[in-house]
Amino acid sequence: MIRGRLAVLLLIGLLSLLGVACGDPQQEQNLAADQTGKGQTTTVVPRLFDPPNPDGKVCRYPIVLVHGFNGFVTDAWGNHYFRGVKAALQADGHTVYEVELPALASSVVRSAALARFLRPLVRADDARVHLIAHSQGGIDARWLRVSYHSIAAKIASVTTVGTPHLGSNFAARAYDWLNTLPKWMWPAEFADDPEGALAGLFALSAQSIKGLQRLESAAKTNQTLAAVPFFSWAGRSKFKDEAKAPCAGINHNPDVVDPLAERLDGWMSWLLTKADRPHDGLIELAHAKYGKFIGCLPADHDDLNQSANDALTGFNSERFYRYIAAQLADLE
């Protein structure tokens, strides 16, 4: 996750001006085809979701919040990556942890850190955990499942929110773009750790996801790993062609990345998806589907974990995560 929407827009503009090549469209089609039949059942629910208040159910198992690319638990200014979510879930009676993963790193490295964090939580025979992951955090959870089987067997569920399960065109463009520039021209947050920034961006590319899918295919005969349920949600920013959208027909205002992005929405759609397809400002909606796809949220990539009663849509991320937790209690 790139901090600051203005920085994202500036990066998009530079990518466009420099004419950085995208990933291979055919490769992304192949990825979508490969997704079928690997122990994951995709259910498309054509609706936007306005979560009700939870009904008071409390999870027996702890919930672990997993941040995305360039993420954090709390930054230097006291801002939480999952804004207000931990406190809201704790107020409902849930046990909640926030894991601090390397902000800029590959998902191989981040999943190893996630495994180290989870190990003491699942040491007891009957111990299990729920993972709720935003953006790259969902890719980390998939790497953990194929790399750390004993820990993966203790995962009660994984819920991903705005995760680029089929790769991110934006990340692939940013990776190529950074490789064309001298380090002094890089965004400051990446220049401090250039290897980590490139590794993190590559982890979100279609090429990297293809390698992950091969490992998942090899592990699909492991019944314990196949039994880990995955649920996914997608954000939906403003886009032009409502009629062709996977979540069309909903009487709801889509979210907008910001006023500039709203005016340039068609251009952003092409840049992010190589077509005028729906997205959350960074991730194509169709690429966020994995396991059981629950539905679309009226929120852009940042607002999926940062919004408190959005002025345009009314979306509240705290209430959304409270709803997820209450639903997870039904799985136990």
Q: How far apart are CA 39 and CA 156, in angstroms?
A: 16
The verdict on residue 290 lying in a domain is yes
Torsion of CA 192, 194, 196, 197, to 10 degrees: 100
Interval 181-235: pLDDT, tens: 888 888 888 888 999 999 999 999 999 999 999 999 988 788 877 789 999 998 8
**Domain presence at residue 7:** no
Whether residue 4 lies inside any domain: the answer is no
Residue 37, in any domain of the structure: no
Q: Read off the CATH number of the domain in which 163 is found.
A: 3.40.50.1820
- 20 lies in some domain: no
Q: Is residue 14 part of a domain?
A: no
pLDDT tens-place string over residues 92-135: 999 999 999 999 999 999 999 999 999 999 999 999 999 999 99
In DSSP terms, 230 is beta-bridged to 158
- The number of helix segments (H) and strand segments (E) in the chain equals 15, 6
Q: Where are the alpha helices (DSSP H) in 181-258?
A: 188-191, 194-203, 206-218, 223-226
Q: Does 317 reside within a domain?
A: yes
CB atoms near residue 182 (< 10 Å)? 7
Q: In what order do the strands lie in the sheet with 63-66?
A: 96-99, 63-66, 129-134, 155-161, 230-235, 292-297
Q: Which domain holds residue 77?
A: 42-329
Say whether pTM exceeds 0.75.
Answer: yes
What is the total count of domains within the chain? 1
33 found inside a domain: no
